[in-house]
Structure 1
Amino acid sequence: MRLFTSFFLLLCMCLAKGVLSQTKSIEKVTRKGNELVIPYEKYVLSNGLTVIVHEDHSDPVVHVDVTYHVGSAREEIGKSGFAHFFEHMMFQGSDHVADDEHFKLVTEAGGTLNGSTNRDRTNYYETLPSNQLERAFWLEADRMGFLLDAVTQKKFEIQRATVKNERGQNYDNRPYGLTGETTAKNLYPYGHPYSWLTIGYVEDLNRVNVNDLKNFFLRWYGPNNAVLTVGGDVTAAQVVQLAEKYFGPIPKGPAVTKTTVPPAVLDKNRYVSYEDNIRFPMLRVTYPTVPQYHPDETPLDALADILGGGRNSLLYKNFVKSEKATQSNASHPTTELAGEFTFTLLPFPTMRLDSAEALLRTTLAEFEARGVTDDDIAQFKATRETNLIEGLSSVSGKVSRLAAYQTFAPTANYLPQELKEIQKLTKADVMRVYNQYIKGKNAVILTVYPTGKKDIVAHADNYTASSEGYKAPNYGYDGLTYQKPKDSFDRSKKPASGPNPATKVPPFWTDKMPNGLKMIGVRNDEIPTVTLLLSIKGGHLLSANDLSKAGIAQLTASLMNEATQNFTSEEINTRLEKLGSSISIGAATNEISISVESLTKNLDATLALLEEKLFRPKFAAADFSRLKKQLLENIQNQSTQPVVIANKAYNRLLFGENDIRSIPVSGTTKTVESITLDDVKAFYEKNLSPSVANLVIVGDVEQNTILPKLGFLSKWAAKPVTVPTLSAAKPIDKTRIYLIDKGKAAQSEIRIGYVTDMPFDATGDYYRSGLANYILGGAFNSRINLNLREDKGFTYGARSAFAGSRLPAVFTAQAGVKAAATDSSVVEFLKEITNYAQDGITDEELAFTKSSIGQRDALRYETSLQKAIFLSQIIDYDLPRNFVEQQSEILKKITKADIKAIARKRLPVDKMVITVVGDKNLIKPGLSRLGYELVELDKEGNPVSAGNTSSAPPAKAGSLSGGQSKN
């Protein structure tokens, strides 16, 4: 009856407009009591587009998701990476939306947006103030129905370059970046939809042409292969009306059927390997299992958690705690067509991988003998239930889950069934799947070995994928034609925004204990959880007066995550997991922070464990020895990572080697080696004090309820703690290029910047400088990113920012760029900075900045974490309650002249550090011809040569030096 009523009302609404709707109301789901469910209404348009609407009026926000049932599994041999490539092309404009306007319009409206591609689907999504709903529909429908005539060869080439840069940054130039690709091509038969990664192969990207891309769109991007999911401060009638208007006229595409493939079968253990520039070798053992939503998925997930999911797991005990490896885990990711049960081990360099494999098999035998315990099942169920609940904290989280369920699960209302699968799990289920999928079964056993050390592989390679007998299926590309929608309205007219939603800063409370602990909190009852963030000021900076102990803050925090005086590490983690809670302690430059997550119903028990961890750490000698060894090994490992090398060298150049800010929070090999257990105990006793601590509380709990529960914190004795005052950074006399060699690097890492004279403030120079930087390098459609990524295709992404705290801020422009365009990228960075400093902002850019920043408050306070971060800023910097209103006034009144004056003052392009990490043989000639003094450094930031100064003047803005391709 409810379904009929809903449809009847909708029909009447459409008749009143003179249009007979062919939209069908399919389903309405409501919540009964406190059951875990996402309420929604589902409709299907006449062209096959499924529309799902979730109403949530708690915040003036709307999230729009369009999911197409097409990912890399729909691709052909020789044309890998097409689905992901097409995701990029969908942001390059359509008939009524100009190039790069998609990002511009959404960002201008105060929203955020992106797209993603995986094996089985591609989705595009926006989170916006709710008055921008129609704009999102106009944008998404235009690229669904009017894309192909806007696709040009130039756009195609630029985005092909961008995808190559993405592959270089996230795969080729990243340690262990090719493990997934190597596993996939050896786990699945030749031609299997999962035998290549979503990113694809470079040779395939080079091979395809723009007509291939157009055919891909025509085959898979019809409305009948898509789900439009909308959630937030909307109504179902409003969404359906707009869906009919903008998506309804789009013609139905070719029929799409579910892909079916036989499961992967391995006739033997397949040993494969490859060389990488790494310190720790890797052993990765992968067994084929079941696809998502299979009855055995949940038991296999539980098995992975028991064997290698955390500190209580057997892998952790046998590999990490026994100091044989720096990392060990088990996982069970599943997708539409298959699952993969994977063990991943990073042994210390002293351990051979055949020994690691033998110990893994011994661990499995130990599991068989031990069996599954009641605690194992209780921990898995509690943790998984908490994860499900926390996933509902935002509109985007709920919408994404509905879209995924509708695309892949038996029903969009699969959440209750997913919870039921977890709750009915038994010990027998876990042992059954172990015996069925793991015990005695064959796997792909991958070794990633450090350069020149192939002798440590687990076993000689014994398998190569073969194309013999493969026959390509018919993908249905013949006879496709492009039919544009026929409209009864003018799509070229951009929809007007609705009335601005009322956005209010969350009503927060403050308090202070006699020992000096400051507290701030807000009630958030959307989900039954509580988040606490305890920040103890000092952290890494406390080593400023004794650099020989740098890294002690991180070691202290790590030890506080271990055993306490009353519980072993395993016991305390068992208690937390059975509660579905987490307590994590970490160190940063300015603080030691403690993060607590708990279901409201388990808050008392969780706080008791927080008291134990905070006040009674055991600081056991065995734990200290193990953690110190891991830290030293990880420091050595950082020397293989281009991003880390670049950041370390850049900071050392900015601050000088005798400044704590030039040393990573992890410390150096020399400083960590000097730290003793007594040093850690003394650091803890001296520096962890409520007098320099702030506590943020957000969640389903009132102030008068939570304060009595925090009574144990009032017993925390205050101590005098002084955070050292740091001297100003040495001024940079002139711009130089500092080059660090990373042989055979596919990309170069670039950092350009300097140390300012301004600390963080919410309403002063720092805030205004952030406004000025927004169009230079702070937004996706900033000058820097549009130039280097969208116009030149040099990078996957480029940006700039002022980053500061109570210490002076650092201005940094940065990117990872393809090696062949390194010198050209440096020139373009400097050109944009120079031009902005000289000419300032345009009228259009200023209007965009004011609109974008002025409307984004609607998105700032939605989740508990967002609220906690906002409150942390207030209490950390003692901000007035109305600082947001003050910022709004500053934004409203700032002028072009103001921005230009800030840019001229804050962008001294002639006095900046330029740090480049890349393949010296390839990039040095071009950099040498730019006209700047070039100094070569080793990976620790020490000069390796006297440097050379070009006789030519610095390259002019916009010019290219070195003769490298501009692409």
Structure 2
Amino acid sequence: MPATLIRCFICLALAFAVTACEQTPAPAEQEAATSSVSIDHQKYTLDNGLTVILHQDTSDPLVHVDVTYHVGSAREDVGKSGFAHFFEHMMFQGSKHVADEQHFKIITEAGGSLNGSTNSDRTNYYQTVPANQLEKVLWLESDRMGFLLEAVTQEKFESQRDTVKNERAQRMDNQPYGLVSERTAEALYPSGHPYSWSTIGYVEDLDRVSVDDLKAFFARWYGPNNAVLTIGGDIDTEQTRAWVEKYFGSIARGPEVEEPEPRPVSLKQDRYVTLEDNIHLPLLQITLPTVYARHPDEAPLDVLADILGGGKTSMFYKNLVKSGQAVQAVVSHPCRELACEFQMVALANPGQVKQLSTLEDVIQQTLKEFEKRGVTADDLARTKAGIEAGTVFGLQSVAGKVSTLAANETFYATPDLVSDDIRRYNEVTADDVMRVYHQYVKDAAGVVLSVVPEGQRELAAAAQNFTLPARDIPDYGAAEYTAKPVSDSVNRQSVPQAGPAPVVTVPEYWQRTLPQSIDMLGVTSMETPTVTLSINLEGGMLLDPEGKEGTAYLTALMLNESTANYSNEEMANALAQLGSAVNVSAAGRYTQIYLSSLSKHFDETLALLEEKLLRPAFLEADFARLKARVMQSIQQQQKSPGQLASRARDTVLFGEQNRVSMPDEGTLASVRAITLADIKAFYKRYYSPAKASVVAVSDQSPKRLTNALSFFEQWQGEDYTFPEFASFPAHDKRTITLVDKPGAVQSALYVVKRAMPYDATGDYFYARLMNFPLGGGFNSRINLDLREKKGITYAANSSFIGGKTLGWFEVSTDVKWQDTATAISAIFDALDTYRENGMTRNELEFMKNAFTLSDALEYETPTSKARFLRQLMAYDLDDDYRSQQLEIIRTVSRDKLNRVAREQLTTSRMQVIVVGDKEKIMTQLSSLDIPIVERKLVAD
């Protein structure tokens, strides 16, 4: 589903510090832990205005560094949109003492991860690294804060301008629903309002500006006095203070920056806008202007949004989704620094809804129903439980805590607002919710956006009555800026040496045997009072009956519906009031039953899991609704170039007669054939303890968890086997498989071949090591060639992907349609060159450091610990497999990996998949002298 449809509840990203214990807390202690509401930190300001926040957390040997600049697209001038995002890219292109592309290389080689992000109100850059690498990160960040402009060249400017255009094409112009947010902003905000254009900007603005415009933007906004440096993790605070002063203290202040004033808007009448798009499911989005972030009415509006459209307990779910008129319906209240929006979204089921005006009518009727019904005690209880659970789960990563401190300081000059957030939401009353409903929602004018399939404007909720006025671009003249030199005695010429490497050990885990001989692995972690538990049933889609592919997927969905003792809504309400989650899903080889809860609510949550697993109701109404939703989703996926490319890849690799060549959810024909009797039969046969395993990460003792799962005694079921695979296609020559996607502005590409399945220390592991310099990271050969040198893609990578029995090698990218053939040729050139000449000595050392040092980041959160346990169980790995891997990495030779390259990268039989506009690209493809086979994947 498009990102615009993801439910956005009260995005608090809360976190705080707790004291670790050595035994399972008693219930009273658990209550005290969850009511702790402070993030321990130190805050101070350097003479140049840089705000510094330090948070010490010694639970894992890592640090997270965040530099947030209070500048986003809202600081841009009319006609110069996209600058803030553009500079996010430029800040990775080297600075005075850091060579081109070296920021990524240095952090990756240090075993870390890094990225940046831009929104309308801020830009941030962040790195998570082993604790001994902190000084190196501060050196890097200070160099691009104080010494960037000297390294900004016309060549880099042109390269990143191409990259940004490719990113826009991939994420917006070539994606279904990709332009929804941009069209809404244009209609909701007046011309010139800082939120009236998208963060990524307009292509014509990017084409218009010069490198001097970009430099002037940096000089205006990227000074230390407009930045917050936040450092969290296993730090020595005094040493960290000294390093911060050393590297940042001498950077000159930038121009003074005034805090922006909120600019909420209002409309006098509804603005109807129609967007034709390459979609199957029409979408209706009603956007009403409200307040601004941390306005007193923000919290009650958030609660109102959750009551109306926050999941299965909501009125939108009841009236739109459960009725079958919408595939999905959500309400959210996203807030930003200058303004907030109340959004009501419904994705139509075209099988029942012929015009979006029908959904608009149902939404208005739902609002009237809410006005009559009012706010219940359950409504408020769910909200408060969600806040508490979100607070505790926010503890699970240093990055989450650092990000919270950084954002709160940037916008509100107060890093720790956790207690204030909890207070303001807990104080929301029913009267508050009704008041904001009447003030901002009832009979309010907004933007009514209809997204309809191309050529079907008659489906819109109403005829368009709003036209975006012509853009009036001022003549700004030549850009002017002053770059302030930095004068200090710091030796910035060489990369600081890392301290002693931290000692990293895999999580200490325990093993138990549950009733029905089910194996359980667990990690006892006292960092947060939470439980993460999953029951894994091997088989998944491999067990689907022939001709009814998608049965496993649909069965899992049915287990999330009504049970013998709970209606759908009652189950959702019970979980929401605990702040817990229990979800059943089927993907690939496994069906998973997942639980997360606060420890104090574990027993109640586990009882709900038991109810779902052992007593599903399998109601005909639930089945009919979910089957229709899955079929509509499949039809929508046929509009996505990426989905089509993945489907074509799997078919080429494994053949149409094998289950693994089809999506988890099946095809239109196979899902149409599935009956409720099939679902019941699949559940009875394969929801069995015979091939089940359990992993758990919590503050509970092994005995406590084992006793809690004693209900497995009631779980009955026989063992089962997996069907054999049919023969796979034998490719004796290179072929292009072309899937026509009329109107595509990019071509989605794969170059693939079958390869070995997963192993921890054998051929597959060596192939992964070999591939890293080729396409396994940002600084890999393929990505640097296609993205940085040629400027024809946003990203390109290669990888070996291995499961329990199958594996393959792939190179994947999305490129400008004009450069489709160029990209294919470049990929084969890169593969052939690497196979013939192998990796360099520098690439070998880079790979060894990146793979070895990254261990410090592997096991921080309960999720990562649970992933480690599932890996152990799924592949029956030795307890010390990670030690064996590290020994291989330390000792492997370049000759060994180059032999692997020669064995694995023979390109003569590799297959090419292209999803693009045939009319535009066929001439290019024909020039490659590779046979072309056209394949149709879209059902009529």
What TM-score results when the alignment is normalised by the length of structure 1?
Answer: 0.92
Q: CA deviation at 1:484?
A: 2.0
**Alignment match, 2:12:** none
8 Å Cα contact 2:17-2:395 kept in structure 1: no
Equivalent residues in 2 for 1:342-357, closer than 5 Å: 342-349=343-350, 350-357=353-360
Q: CA deviation at 1:834?
A: 1.1
8 Å Cα contact 1:588-1:665 kept in structure 2: yes
Report the 3-state secondary structure (helix = DSSP H, G, I; strand = E; otherwise coil) of the residue aligned with 1:549: coil
Distance 2:108 2:45 in 1: 30
- Deviation string 1:205-254 (CA, Å, 9 cap, x unpaired) is 11111000000000000000000000000022122111110011100000
Deviates more, 1:334-343 or 1:382-391: 382-391
Q: CA deviation at 1:351?
A: 2.7
**Alignment match, 1:311:** 312
8 Å Cα contact 1:582-1:597 kept in structure 2: yes
2:405 counterpart (402, 407, 410): 402
Equivalent residues in 2 for 1:896-915, closer than 5 Å: 896-915=894-913
Report the 3-state secondary structure (helix = DSSP H, G, I; strand = E; otherwise coil) of the residue aligned with 2:128: strand
Q: Which residue identity does 1:100 align to in structure 2?
A: E
Q: CA deviation at 1:467?
A: 6.8
Equivalent residues in 2 for 1:289-328, closer than 5 Å: 289-328=290-329
Deviates more, 1:697-706 or 1:210-219: 697-706
Q: Which residue identity does 1:356 align to in structure 2?
A: L
Report the 3-state secondary structure (helix = DSSP H, G, I; strand = E; otherwise coil) of the residue aligned with 2:125: strand
Report the 3-state secondary structure (helix = DSSP H, G, I; strand = E; otherwise coil) of the residue aligned with 1:400: helix
**Alignment match, 2:814:** 816
Q: CA deviation at 1:471?
A: 11
- Deviation string 1:684-740 (CA, Å, 9 cap, x unpaired) is 000111121111100221112211111112332241111223245233111111111
**Alignment match, 2:113:** 112
**Alignment match, 1:686:** 685
Q: CA deviation at 1:327?
A: 1.0
Distance 1:464 1:727 in 2: 56
8 Å Cα contact 1:189-1:465 kept in structure 2: no
**Alignment match, 1:592:** 591
Equivalent residues in 2 for 1:139-158, closer than 5 Å: 139-158=140-159
**Alignment match, 2:771:** 773
Equivalent residues in 2 for 1:437-476, closer than 5 Å: 437-466=440-469
Deviates more, 1:421-430 or 1:81-90: 421-430
**Alignment match, 1:711:** 710
Distance 1:224 1:472 in 2: 29
**Alignment match, 1:671:** 670
**Alignment match, 2:6:** none
Equivalent residues in 2 for 1:789-800, closer than 5 Å: 789-800=787-798
8 Å Cα contact 1:44-1:50 kept in structure 2: yes
Q: CA deviation at 1:262?
A: 3.5
Distance 2:354 2:379 in 1: 30
**Alignment match, 1:548:** 547
Report the 3-state secondary structure (helix = DSSP H, G, I; strand = E; otherwise coil) of the residue aligned with 2:395: coil
8 Å Cα contact 2:689-2:716 kept in structure 1: yes
For the pair 1:877 / 2:875, whether they are aligned, the reply is: yes
Q: CA deviation at 1:63?
A: 0.2
Distance 1:471 1:827 in 2: 41
Distance 1:612 1:402 in 2: 40
For the pair 1:887 / 2:885, whether they are aligned, the reply is: yes
**Alignment match, 2:851:** 853
Q: CA deviation at 1:428?
A: 1.1
Q: CA deviation at 1:168?
A: 0.6
Report the 3-state secondary structure (helix = DSSP H, G, I; strand = E; otherwise coil) of the residue aligned with 2:591: strand
Deviates more, 1:132-141 or 1:509-518: 509-518
Deviates more, 1:425-434 or 1:74-83: 425-434
For the pair 1:167 / 2:165, whether they are aligned, the reply is: no
Distance 1:844 1:146 in 2: 27
Distance 1:817 1:893 in 2: 38
TM-align CA RMSD: 1.7
Report the 3-state secondary structure (helix = DSSP H, G, I; strand = E; otherwise coil) of the residue aligned with 1:710: helix
For the pair 1:631 / 2:634, whether they are aligned, the reply is: no
8 Å Cα contact 1:532-1:596 kept in structure 2: yes
Distance 2:485 2:253 in 1: 11
Equivalent residues in 2 for 1:719-798, closer than 5 Å: 719-727=718-726, 729-756=728-755, 758-798=756-796
8 Å Cα contact 2:212-2:480 kept in structure 1: no
Distance 2:546 2:383 in 1: 43
Q: Structure 1 residues 599, 31: CA separation in 2 closer, same or farther (over 3 Å shift)?
A: closer
Q: CA deviation at 1:636?
A: 1.4
- Deviation string 1:374-406 (CA, Å, 9 cap, x unpaired) is 001001110122112212210000000000000
Q: Structure 1 residues 751, 526: CA separation in 2 closer, same or farther (over 3 Å shift)?
A: same
Q: CA deviation at 1:897?
A: 0.8
For the pair 1:368 / 2:371, whether they are aligned, the reply is: yes
Equivalent residues in 2 for 1:196-595, closer than 5 Å: 196-349=197-350, 350-466=353-469, 480-543=481-544, 546-595=545-594
Report the 3-state secondary structure (helix = DSSP H, G, I; strand = E; otherwise coil) of the residue aligned with 1:565: coil
- Deviation string 1:774-821 (CA, Å, 9 cap, x unpaired) is 111111111111111111111111111111111221111101111111
What TM-score results when the alignment is normalised by the length of structure 2?
Answer: 0.95
8 Å Cα contact 1:516-1:692 kept in structure 2: no
Distance 1:775 1:478 in 2: 40
**Alignment match, 1:8:** none
8 Å Cα contact 1:190-1:467 kept in structure 2: no
Identity of aligned residues (%): 49
Report the 3-state secondary structure (helix = DSSP H, G, I; strand = E; otherwise coil) of the residue aligned with 2:827: helix
Distance 1:928 1:941 in 2: 26
8 Å Cα contact 1:293-1:409 kept in structure 2: no
8 Å Cα contact 1:515-1:718 kept in structure 2: no
Deviates more, 1:667-676 or 1:851-860: 667-676
Q: CA deviation at 1:940?
A: 4.6
**Alignment match, 1:137:** 138
Equivalent residues in 2 for 1:185-196, closer than 5 Å: 185-196=186-197
Deviates more, 1:134-143 or 1:519-528: 519-528
For the pair 1:609 / 2:608, whether they are aligned, the reply is: yes
Q: CA deviation at 1:512?
A: 1.6
Distance 1:373 1:467 in 2: 47
Distance 1:648 1:676 in 2: 25
Q: Which residue identity does 1:338 align to in structure 2?
A: A
Report the 3-state secondary structure (helix = DSSP H, G, I; strand = E; otherwise coil) of the residue aligned with 1:548: coil
Deviates more, 1:442-451 or 1:383-392: 383-392
8 Å Cα contact 1:320-1:326 kept in structure 2: yes
Report the 3-state secondary structure (helix = DSSP H, G, I; strand = E; otherwise coil) of the residue aligned with 2:498: coil
**Alignment match, 2:26:** none
Distance 1:751 1:30 in 2: 45
Report the 3-state secondary structure (helix = DSSP H, G, I; strand = E; otherwise coil) of the residue aligned with 1:398: helix
Q: CA deviation at 1:473?
A: 13
Deviates more, 1:618-627 or 1:628-637: 628-637
Q: CA deviation at 1:474?
A: 11
In the comparison of the two structures, how many residue pairs are matched?
909
8 Å Cα contact 1:652-1:941 kept in structure 2: no
- Structure 2 residue runs of 5 or longer lacking an equivalent are 1-15, 20-31
8 Å Cα contact 2:82-2:200 kept in structure 1: yes
Report the 3-state secondary structure (helix = DSSP H, G, I; strand = E; otherwise coil) of the residue aligned with 1:587: strand
Q: CA deviation at 1:639?
A: 1.4
Distance 2:588 2:151 in 1: 48
Q: CA deviation at 1:528?
A: 1.2
Q: Structure 1 residues 941, 806: CA separation in 2 closer, same or farther (over 3 Å shift)?
A: farther
Q: Which residue identity does 1:804 align to in structure 2?
A: G
Distance 2:474 2:203 in 1: 21
- The higher relative CO (CA closer than 8 Å, separation ≥ 6) is in 2
Q: Which residue identity does 2:87 align to in structure 1?
A: F
Report the 3-state secondary structure (helix = DSSP H, G, I; strand = E; otherwise coil) of the residue aligned with 2:723: coil
Q: CA deviation at 1:516?
A: 2.6
**Alignment match, 1:13:** none
- Deviation string 1:847-899 (CA, Å, 9 cap, x unpaired) is 00000000011000000001000111011111111111000111111111111
